[in-house]
Amino acid sequence: MAARTKGAPDPAWKPDPVVSHWAMRQALDQAAYAARTGQLPFGACVIRGVELIGTGHNTVLTDQDVSGHAEINALRAACAKTDEIDLHGCVLYTSCEPCPMCLTACYWARVSGIVYAAKAADATQAGFRQLPNAPAHLSILATAGTRLAGGLMRDEGCRILTNWSATANWSGHQGAYQNDALRQRDSRTAE
Cα separation of 190 and 174, whole Å? Answer: 14
Calculate the dihedral angle through the C-alpha atoms of 40, 34, 109, 105, rounding to the nearest 10 degrees.
10
Cα separation of 108 and 102, whole Å? Answer: 10
pTM for the model: 0.86
Residues tagged active-site: 71
Residue 15 — very low, low, confident or very high, per pLDDT cuts 50/70/90?
confident
Q: How far is CA 46 from the centre of its chain?
A: 12
Residue 163 — very low, low, confident or very high, per pLDDT cuts 50/70/90?
very high
Phi, psi of 115 (to 5 degrees): -120, 125
Q: What is the pLDDT of residues 41-50, one digit of tens each?
A: 999 999 999 9
Phi, psi of 63 (to 5 degrees): -90, -10
Q: Which residues contact 107 (CB under 8 A, 6 or more apart)?
A: 140, 141, 144, 146
Q: Comparing C-alpha atoms, which of 98, 97, 95 is closest to residue 119? A: 97
